[in-house]
């Protein structure tokens, strides 16, 4: 019985590593039918639900697994990941700490650092990362966590050193390079920073780096060079289509320029890509309300719910927008 259970678990993990979520889910269901009292299998199936963004289903299964064996390593691991995805970072940090105490690994340590950063416990995140790097000096995720923590703490030199160390390990990490340039130009005026970045991008193929183009656009926008910022945001999107941050900033810049139609269209894309962003949603709703097009907002919310069913706040938002649209319609009829 134990050997068949181990084979089933190994097969599910093999399918997960290959990226076959649906096949892994089917195999896990079949294995659970054969081994219904296996906490490990139930936790593994819960983790597959999590990867499919079915967080409620994952929670139910994980509770069953905990009832069978709350100390099983797979149960603890699935619980840590689920808590992180649910943005319950205190719980996630506690579970990852427990896993690290049991058996430290580069992955577990990097996730603990990430959870601490999300809790804004950046000093502790940096300390954990530094200790982890003593054992795993080239772990890219831990270096990213260290750099983010140092930057959040305002320790610019330490953050720069961490990003430079990361880029020595991952030279093609465009986000890290962008953050490094952001930190190095932090003391410059927006005009000086934009000029320096513009010159930098003329060499070494850096004009193909969407993150660097985004940083340049941000600096141009702060310098009040809105048309130039739009050109760089659009160029960044051409290199990396659908990037939520770029779509949002481009939409905001269009709005500042008075290009409300382009702003509404771009912010609609940003909203569908990341509906939990309150700044995008509020700006988009404001634009559509001004154009008496709240029905379009309802359509976008419905589409966002199809794409992101785990964003539960959308249900309440939809109810509020529908009420607002009904009031507007009633007002027009009275007129």
DSSP assignments along 217-239, one per residue: HHHHHHTT-HHHHHHHHHHHHHH
The answer to whether residue 191 sits within a structural domain is no
Q: Each residue's pLDDT tens digit in the chain (335 positions)?
A: 568 888 888 888 888 888 888 999 898 899 999 999 999 999 999 999 999 989 999 999 999 999 999 999 999 999 999 999 999 999 999 999 999 999 999 999 999 999 999 999 999 999 999 999 999 999 999 999 999 999 999 999 999 999 999 989 988 888 888 898 889 888 888 888 888 777 777 665 667 788 888 988 998 999 999 999 999 999 999 999 999 999 999 999 999 999 999 999 999 999 999 999 999 999 999 999 999 999 999 999 999 999 998 888 999 999 999 999 887 665 555 55
The answer to whether residue 19 sits within a structural domain is yes
CB neighbours of residue 256 within 10 Å = 14
The answer to whether residue 267 sits within a structural domain is no
The answer to whether residue 81 sits within a structural domain is yes
Q: What pLDDT shows up at residue 334? A: 55
- Tell me how many degrees the CA angle 233-237-243 measures, rounded to the nearest 5: 105
The whole-model pTM stands at: 0.71
The answer to whether residue 139 sits within a structural domain is no
Domain with 81, as residue range(s), is 12-85
The answer to whether residue 67 sits within a structural domain is yes
Q: What pLDDT shows up at residue 330? A: 57
CATH number at residue 65: 1.25.40.10
- The domain tally of the chain equals 1
The answer to whether residue 70 sits within a structural domain is yes
The answer to whether residue 164 sits within a structural domain is no
């Amino acid at each position: 019985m134990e050997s068949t259970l181990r084979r089933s678990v190994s097969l599910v993990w093999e399918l997960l590593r290959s990226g076959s979520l649906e096949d892994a889910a089917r195999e896990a269901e079949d294995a659970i039918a054969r081994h219904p009292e296996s906490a490990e299998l139930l936790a593994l199936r819960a983790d597959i639900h999590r990867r499919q963004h079915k967080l409620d289903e994952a929670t139910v299964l994980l509770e069953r697994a905990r009832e069978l064996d709350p100390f099983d390593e797979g149960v603890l691991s699935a619980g840590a990941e689920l808590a992180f995805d649910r943005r319950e970072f205190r719980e996630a940090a506690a579970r990852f700490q427990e896993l690290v105490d049991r058996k430290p690994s580069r992955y577990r340590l990097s996730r603990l650092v990430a959870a601490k950063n999300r809790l804004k416990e950046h000093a502790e995140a940096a300390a954990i990362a530094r200790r982890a790097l003593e054992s795993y000096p080239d772990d890219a995720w831990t270096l990213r966590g260290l750099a983010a923590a140092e930057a959040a703490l305002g320790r610019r030199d330490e953050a720069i050193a961490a990003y430079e160390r990361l880029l020595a390990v991952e030279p093609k990490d465009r986000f890290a390079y962008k953050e490094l340039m952001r930190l190095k130009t932090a003391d410059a005026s927006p005009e000086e920073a934009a000029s320096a970045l513009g010159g930098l991008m003329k060499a070494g193929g850096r004009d193909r780096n969407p993150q660097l183009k985004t940083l340049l656009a941000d600096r141009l926008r702060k310098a009040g060079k809105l048309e130039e910022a739009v050109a760089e945001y659009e160029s960044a999107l051409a290199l990396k289509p659908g990037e939520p941050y770029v779509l949002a900033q481009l939409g905001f810049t269009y709005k500042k320029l008075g290009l409300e139609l382009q702003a509404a269209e771009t912010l609609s894309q940003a909203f569908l890509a990341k509906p939990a962003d309150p700044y995008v949603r509020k700006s988009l709703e404001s634009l559509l309300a001004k154009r008496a097009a709240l029905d379009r907002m309802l359509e976008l919310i419905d589409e966002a719910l199809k794409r992101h069913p785990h964003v539960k706040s959308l249900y309440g938002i939809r109810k509020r927008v529908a009420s607002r649209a009904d009031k507007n319609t009633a007002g027009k009829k009275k007129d």
